[in-house]
Amino acid sequence: MNAERIRLWAAVVLYGSNASDSPACRYLQTHARQDAGFLLFDNTDCPESNAAWCRENGFTYLGGEGNLGLSVAYNRCLSYLDGLKAQGRILWLDDDSLPEDGLIDRLLREDAPILAPIVLSGRRILSPSRAFGTRMLRFRSERAALTSRSERLTAINAGLCVRLALYRDYRYDERVFLDGLDHRFLRDMRAKGFHPKVIDARLAQRFSGDETPPQTQALRRYRIFLRDYHILYRERPLFWRRLALRRALRLTLSYRSLAFFQAYRAERRRHD
């Protein structure tokens, strides 16, 4: 691979499926081009088949050590690109992300340092959104998202396309396993004067918050959320408590179980 020719790097973090079944991997496989390079970071428990798929399809394979979390996956991809002295942009994708045709062309025509396509969960706009305290307010229409000039604009990492130069002095906090990394990154970038530009392109994405998994799975997910957000907002404990209680209330009403409040109290006791 000639890294000097690559203008866009797309990185897929694989955790919920095999590479051969991943919508993101299949999309990139069918949109190969000389000025784009594809990375796969494997957080699954079947590294042999995924590594073989990458060799057959021109992807660079990373990971394969079990589920190390999103922060480690992102940082390992960035370190690999640092080793290549790569330039251009990086496009982050989850394994179930499905971009529309033409997304890569659209990204390469833009000049803004951070690009955010419209991410749809079903017919609802998942990203971008606006952050107001403990709430993320979704846009009701694509037009509203495209024309927004809000200083509170934020976005999820799936579909986010960032100039690699912004990562020269930035890495994700590896104590955080999963939640909140995207919004914290954009918050940190805003502090440096960089804001996301919403572009007229779309990406379909499954969102766990729009689903109702079994209670044991939801409780496990909530415990990860508690730990991750406590790390990200350790300097704002009251904000963390409001955020955690708000989600605990929603989950309690949904599952009719006090297990979520009990998980919140247990996590709070760990830090009091």
Instruction: Note the pLDDT of residue 37.
Output: 97
Q: Is 72 found in the same domain as 10?
A: yes
Q: What is the pLDDT of residues 234-263, one digit of tens each?
A: 999 999 999 999 999 999 999 999 999 999
Out of 42-46, 70-74, 236-240, 268-272, least confident range: 268-272
What domain range includes position 220? 212-271
| Residue 212: per-residue pLDDT | 85
Q: Which two tokens stand for residue 159?
A: 């579909």
Identify the pLDDT of residue 68.
Answer: 97
Choose one of 167, 187, 209: the last residue of a domain.
Answer: 209
Q: Does residue 250 share a domain with residue 201? A: no
Question: Are residues 88 and 181 located together in one domain of the fold?
Answer: yes
Residue 60 clears pLDDT 70, i.e. is over it: yes
What is the pLDDT at residue 1? 65
Residue 3 CB-density burial (10 A; 0-12 exposed, 13-18 middle, 19+ buried): middle
Does 54 share its domain with 114? yes
Q: Indicate the pTM of the whole model.
A: 0.94
Q: Mind listing the pLDDT tens digit for each residue in 173-227?
A: 999 999 999 999 999 999 999 999 999 999 999 876 667 899 999 999 999 999 9
Give backbone dihedrals phi and psi of 204, rounded to 5 degrees, phi first.
-90, 140
Instruction: Give yes or no: residues 200 and 118 share one domain.
Output: yes
What share of the chain has pLDDT > 90, as a percent? 90
Token representation of residue 58: 């021109």
pLDDT of 89 reads 98
Whether 202 and 224 share a structural domain: no
pLDDT per residue as tens digits for the range 117-156 = 999 998 899 999 999 877 889 999 999 999 998 889 999 9
C-alpha–C-alpha distance, residues 208 and 221, integer Å = 9
Average pLDDT for the chain:
94
* 24 and 46 inside one domain: yes
C-alpha distances in Å from residue 169, one per residue of 83, 188, 192, 195: 15, 12, 12, 17
